[in-house]
């Protein structure tokens, strides 16, 4: 019965007006390479990725995989702690910006895959960690910095794709014992829990919580009451007052909203992977590789929608009731959008591999 009701939702769902964000991109820096991470601290927006240059005000500036701009005016700031490899994840706390990725040096100092940076100067803190593997996700909260990825050991200790550091001491928090049997690609901290998304099939030693799960923010113990049915590898996770949202791949791609018991509120199917998701004002914004949103849950080879579709190129928005909105800024490219983030001032930031938004030049970054 649950599947039947879901199908009806898709069939009768029609476009509704967007309520939170406009479709036109605002003034902000652009970049010569991929933007993979966005974070906020005060009025500053921090971005990370593979880029080596940023453009602002008709000029080009060197920015080695990290940059920052004024969240009110869009002006590129002088902050430029160069990293020698891609930055995949960012998180902030008062007085600090944490970066994780494939780098080995940052701001002129040796740091393996993770670093704590000054939010105003091109300097690094003494915090350091030896990560055996690849980090993909960062989140801060509950006095801890949480790291997810595909790794086996951190600072010589066994760590199966998840680890937490004390924000006070910078040391690995041995009390937080969460683990996953495969890659963790996304993290979100809320409600005293850490929500995990990825390709895992077990959390700790427990089966039956594949690809999307929650653990206690203090102990890392599995939250058994949150038991969603994520249909494919989860690429992004976000949480708001209404519940948990996930962007996933699979045959085509899917975005879904879940209640705190894991039951599905709504699900939308695309003709390509959904790789990013965030919410503003009750509306979920989805980014990815897709070009169309399916009218029903049925799709076929290469994600082709079988019961009709509407155009939404790399970006789409869905209401709290699961209805597709009219918001369609239309990005471009094959990979499209890699990250979406909602700013404290209500702006929506999109990063990825696109070069155009709504027919206008916006290389790799756009602010709505």
Q: Give tens-digit pLDDT for 117-136.
A: 999 999 999 999 999 999 99
Which pLDDT score is estimated for 276? 98
Is the pLDDT assigned to residue 12 strictly greater than 80?
no
Distance CA 26, CA 350 (A): 11
- Interval 357-364 mean pLDDT: 94
Percent of residues, the chain, with pLDDT higher than 90: 89
CB distance 136 to 114 below 8 Å = no
Average pLDDT of the segment spanning 233-246: 97
pLDDT band at 4 (very low <50, low <70, confident <90, very high): very low
In angstroms, the CA 222 to CA 213 distance is 8
337 close to 357: Cβ distance less than 8 angstroms:
no
| pLDDT at residue 117, as a whole number | 98
Alpha-carbon distances, residue 74 vs 18, 243, 312 (angstroms)? 24, 31, 26
* Cross-strand pairs, 39: 46
In percent, the amount of the chain with pLDDT more than 70 equals 95
CA-based angle 337:339:344, to the nearest 5? 130
- Predicted confidence (pLDDT) at residue 11 exceeds the cutoff of 70: no
pLDDT of residue 211: 98
Look at residue 15 and tell me whether its pLDDT is greater than 70. no
24: pLDDT strictly greater than 50: yes
pLDDT at position 36 over 50: yes
Q: In whole angstroms, what is the distance from residue 204 CA to residue 249 CA? A: 23
Per the document, the length of the chain is 368
**120 Cβ contact list (under 8 Å, min separation 6):** 79
pLDDT at 20 > cutoff 70: no
pLDDT in tens, 316-334: 999 999 999 999 999 999 9
pLDDT at 79: 98
Q: Would you place residue 9 in the very low, low, confident or very high pLDDT band (cuts 50, 70, 90)?
A: very low
pLDDT > 70? residue 6: no
CA-based Rg of the chain, rounded to a whole angstrom?
Answer: 20
> What is the Cα–Cα distance from 319 to 325, expressed in whole angstroms?
7
| Least confident piece of the model among 21-35, 160-174, 257-271 | 21-35
Mean pLDDT of 53-75: 97
Q: What average pLDDT is seen over the chain? A: 93
pLDDT of residue 1: 33
Grade residue 252 by pLDDT with cuts at 50, 70 and 90.
Answer: confident
């Amino acid at each position: 019965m649950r599947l039947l009701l879901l199908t009806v939702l898709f069939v009768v769902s029609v476009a509704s007006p967007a309520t939170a964000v406009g479709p036109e991109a605002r003034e902000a820096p652009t970049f010569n390479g991929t933007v993979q991470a966005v974070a906020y601290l005060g009025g500053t927006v921090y971005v990370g990725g593979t880029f080596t240059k940023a453009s602002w005000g008709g000029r080009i500036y060197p920015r080695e995989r990290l940059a920052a701009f004024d969240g009110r005016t869009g002006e590129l700031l002088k902050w430029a702690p160069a990293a020698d490899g891609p930055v995949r994840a960012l998180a902030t706390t008062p007085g600090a910006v944490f970066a994780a990725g494939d780098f080995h040096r940052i701001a002129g100092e040796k740091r393996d895959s993770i670093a704590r940076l000054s939010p105003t100067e091109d300097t690094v803190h003494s915090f350091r960690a030896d990560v055996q593997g690849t980090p993909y996700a960062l989140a801060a909260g509950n006095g801890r910095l949480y790291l997810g990825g595909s790794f086996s050991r951190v600072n010589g200790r066994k760590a199966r794709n998840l680890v937490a550091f004390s924000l006070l001491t910078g040391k690995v928090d041995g009390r937080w014992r969460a683990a996953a049997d495969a890659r963790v690609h996304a993290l979100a901290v809320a409600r005293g829990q850490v929500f995990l998304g990825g390709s895992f099939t077990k959390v700790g030693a427990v089966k039956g919580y594949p690809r999307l799960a929650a653990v206690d923010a203090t102990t890392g113990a599995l939250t058994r009451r949150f038991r969603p049915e994520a249909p494919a590898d989860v690429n992004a996770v976000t949480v708001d007052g209404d519940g948990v949202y996930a962007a996933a791949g699979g045959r085509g791609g899917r975005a879904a909203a879940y209640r705190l018991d894991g039951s599905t509120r709504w699900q939308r199917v695309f003709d390509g992977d959904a790789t990013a998701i965030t919410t503003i004002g009750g509306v979920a914004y989805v980014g990815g590789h897709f070009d169309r949103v399916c009218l029903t849950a049925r799709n076929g080879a290469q994600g082709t929608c079988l019961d009709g579709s509407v155009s939404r190129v790399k970006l789409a928005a869905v209401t709290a009731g699961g209805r597709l909105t009219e918001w369609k800024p239309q990005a471009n490219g094959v990979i499209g959008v890699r990250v979406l983030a909602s700013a404290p001032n209500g702006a929506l930031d999109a990063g990825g591999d696109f070069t155009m938004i709504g027919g206008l030049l916006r290389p790799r970054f756009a602010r709505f």
